[in-house]
Structure 1
Amino acid sequence: MNIGQQILGELKSEITEVEYNRYIKHLEYDIKKSSSDMAIFYAPNALVVSWIQKKYKDKLAHLFEIKTGNKVTVKITLKSAQTTKKAKTIKEINKVSSLLNPSYSFDNFMIGGSNQFAYAAIKSVSENPGKVYNPVFIYGGVGLGKTHLMQAAGNVLQNSGKVVIYATVEQFLNDFIRHVKNKTMDRFQEKYRKCDVLLIDDIQFLSNKEGIQEEFFHTFEALKGAGKQIILTADKHPKKIGGLEARLQSRFEWGLVADIQPPELETKIAIIKKKCEINKVKLSNEIINYIATVIESNVREIEGILSKLHAYSQLMHVDIDLEFTKNVLKDQIKENRQNLTMDTITNVVAKDLNIKPSEIRSKGRAKNLVYARRISIYICRELTQSTMPQLAQYFGMKDHTAISHTIKKINDLIEKDEDFKVKIDELTNKLSSSS
């Protein structure tokens, strides 16, 4: 192992795994050109160069000084381009591919029932671009993994030598406007129509933009006709994007349309465990299960929660237990659930158990009604700010002592009946995700 690799190993132990995998692991040390007072590293793209220069250049120099005893200047530069004409053309065309996030991979994408189909489709395309499904259109809410999947495919294909262009619709539009203004549309078309793979995020923002829709249509046609792969993402199905030309809508549906739903409880738990492992945060299963039931559908929220818990724990010098977790997250949870009402909860429980909401609030003693009523009362108590007297009035009980007695029974059931606990967790998760 050369000195450069040793230094990178030292840095790895001092930073998070996410940061290391995203930036540091891609550095290559030039042992031939480096010297006792100069350390040269090559980065794969301008994004990595810029980030390391701002955040880690001084740290690397310090580690070299500790290791060698010499003052060392650290130089981070782009990996040398090949001298062939083809390599120069690729470099020119592929300038925006640096926007690909190298940490997005298939290996660290958590698969569950909510995203399995989309994952399989994108994975298949990454192995056989332009032939299996083209285009692939992935849609779903914010923070569910659409961009992660798209860029995972982009990274695989770029590493295999393909020219990959990734852009949001906003970036595509700004690029278009700039080239129109500069009268250099030939360069714009060369860049977007001569690539091997085009990845466009947030395609819904093409809505009601006639000029850019015209240009995108011709770009789409050129790439599709040449057998090049196109992957698109949006927040809704092509049919539901208003202000979109019919010819574009039909073409978006030509290949494969797949949705990503909010993750089910089991997938959320798996995601949290994976994030804990990556970010080196230790949480008990009890805490992990609690977080999984209170976070919204936006998976990006998980990393923020873990960072917050870790920071509070370090600053306050306390261990992370369930009570600490609830206290740290109470404002966030309150904000997430501010739209939840007893009516909303009762309606969701009633629909899931195939009974009427009015029956849950009745005095009926049939076994299925008592079961549904207990679940509704427990979740209303957990997910709303309702007091016991308010719950008693809503569910037609005598007073708050009746609610207290019911909740005690429910807690006993949760301890003894695993199926009952699973049902409560499932419905709590559904309500937290939709709030």
Structure 2
Amino acid sequence: TAPNELMAKFINTRYADKIAHLYEVRTGIKPNIEISSTKSSKVSKQNQINVKQIKTQSSILNPSYTFENFVCGASNQYAFLSAKAAAEKPGVLYNPLFIYGTTGLGKTHLLQSVGNHCLNKGKTVICVTSEQFMIDFTSHINNHSMPKFREKYRNCDVLLIDDVQFLGKTDKIQEEFFNTYNELLAKNGQIVMTSDRPPKTLKGFEDRMISRFDKAFMADITPPELDTKIAIIIKKCEFDKIDLNKEVINYIATNMGDNIREIEGAIINLNVFKTLMKEEITLDLAKSILKDLIKEKRENINFDTIVEIVSKELNIKQSDIKSKSRVTNIVEARRIIIYLAKMLTTNSMPQIANYFGMKDHSAVSHNIKKINELIQTNEIFSLKVTELKNKILTKG
């Protein structure tokens, strides 16, 4: 509510659509926003939002999450093609499909693209987060209506589970999901899951569930290359009819990190400012608007600093790092340096490739992928990389 009717009218006129858009981006639900003043804020029970209902609602698909709106690059190509194939022939190809990768890289977009595609073909689709699945399960247990729960999840054509890693919390829910999983596959129902890590590193799951996950088709998504990030920004601007010049687009791609949601948030911030202030977004203006969103720059950290510290800590000659040596410990050290250079400097993939004498940025992407895999599967290695990163940050 607003303090008075004049303020309520102003917010409704200027900001209601933007608030609704941000809410839809976050939740996938399109709300009706209306700000009232405190004097007229008596809200009827009929119009109040039932939070419990929203949490337990399934098949919430964001219509903007389609394959056509997904930007495909080297970092996500296999996941994209696998998801598309599964959607074209649900229950036949790539079933079950397990998509994994860190937060904000497009897993949910691909998951819901499968759902929207299948829904348009007349298929019955259930799309839930693992949290929604657990809430739904608990609700049906409390209401003594488990047959309805099982009918819903085991008789659909397509079951989409987002963030499946959280389902390992309780034995009862895990047991129910295990049986749902098996029965749906026996009926040739399509299952697509997303996770922030590969199956072998999931915590809390029974061996039999991990075994089922391991037999799924695996598709990982790694952080996007600079070219892919630029393409994502251009696509987002086209979709939302936002006009940003090339300089601003390159600035966002270079400085906003790899999280696609954060990149989209930066674009929305610029567009809100442009709409309200009626000003063109110049590079200087973009820097000013996004200064609190841009991750801390590592101005004093460069390639030489990273090579010096990593070489010393791993007891490897600096000259070996840039050599063509394929000795295991040298290759690993080189990959760690490439990974940390991408994380801690503002250098682009091509710049990193050039420094190490690589053909192109795809080689950089490959090395980063290898390190990400080790970090996700080897706790000791992960701690070693974190320790190296902290030493570099301290010196930088």
Shorter-normalised TM range: 0.5 to 0.7
Say whether the 8 Å CA contact 1:263–1:297 is kept in structure 2. yes
* Cα distance change of structure 1 residues 241 and 186 upon mapping to structure 2, 3 Å threshold: same
Distance 2:308 2:150 in 1: 54
Distance 2:310 2:72 in 1: 27
Could you say what secondary structure the match of 1:230 adopts? strand
Which of 152, 172, 180 is 1:191 aligned to?
A: 152
Shift of 1:183: 0.8
Which of 290, 295, 299 is 2:256 aligned to?
A: 295
Distance 2:177 2:352 in 1: 51
Aligned pairs, how many? 300
Shift of 1:338: 6.8
Tell me the amino acid that sits aligned with residue 267 of structure 1: T
What does 1:32-431 align with in structure 2 at a 5 Å threshold? 51=31, 54-55=32-33, 96=57, 98-333=59-294, 336-337=295-296, 342=301, 346-347=305-306, 359=318, 423=354
Could you say what secondary structure the match of 2:66 adopts? coil
Structure 1, unaligned runs of 5 or more: 1-14, 24-46, 57-94, 361-375, 385-409
Larger Rg: 1
* Cα distance change of structure 1 residues 201 and 341 upon mapping to structure 2, 3 Å threshold: farther
CA offsets 1:188-223 (integer angstroms, 9 cap, x no match): 111111111110111100123111000100001100
* Cα distance change of structure 1 residues 325 and 421 upon mapping to structure 2, 3 Å threshold: farther
Say whether the 8 Å CA contact 2:158–2:189 is kept in structure 1. yes
Percent of aligned pairs with the same residue? Answer: 45
Distance 2:230 2:206 in 1: 41
* Cα distance change of structure 1 residues 97 and 172 upon mapping to structure 2, 3 Å threshold: closer
Shift of 1:235: 0.3
Say whether the 8 Å CA contact 2:302–2:345 is kept in structure 1. no
* Cα distance change of structure 1 residues 207 and 338 upon mapping to structure 2, 3 Å threshold: farther
Distance 1:217 1:300 in 2: 31
Shift of 1:186: 0.6
Could you say what secondary structure the match of 1:332 adopts? coil
* Cα distance change of structure 1 residues 206 and 269 upon mapping to structure 2, 3 Å threshold: same
Say whether the 8 Å CA contact 1:96–1:166 is kept in structure 2. no
Distance 1:245 1:215 in 2: 13
Tell me the amino acid that sits aligned with residue 308 of structure 1: N
Say whether the 8 Å CA contact 1:346–1:357 is kept in structure 2. no
Deviates more, 1:313-322 or 1:175-184: 313-322
Structure 2, unaligned runs of 5 or more: 1-16, 35-55, 320-337, 373-385, 390-396
Following TM superposition, the consecutive aligned residue runs of length 4 or more in structure 1 with deviations greater than 6 angstroms are 338-341, 348-352, 355-358, 424-427
- Aligned-CA RMSD value: 4.1
Distance 2:289 2:353 in 1: 25
Shift of 1:283: 1.8
Say whether the 8 Å CA contact 1:96–1:165 is kept in structure 2. no
Shift of 1:255: 2.5
Say whether the 8 Å CA contact 1:144–1:261 is kept in structure 2. yes
Say whether the 8 Å CA contact 1:139–1:146 is kept in structure 2. yes
What TM-score, normalized by structure 1, do the two folds share? 0.60
Tell me the amino acid that sits aligned with residue 230 of structure 2: I
CA offsets 1:5-50 (integer angstroms, 9 cap, x no match): xxxxxxxxxx89x97xx99xxxxxxxxxxxxxxxxxxxxxxx97x7
CA offsets 1:275-324 (integer angstroms, 9 cap, x no match): 11122222221221111110121101122111212222344443211111
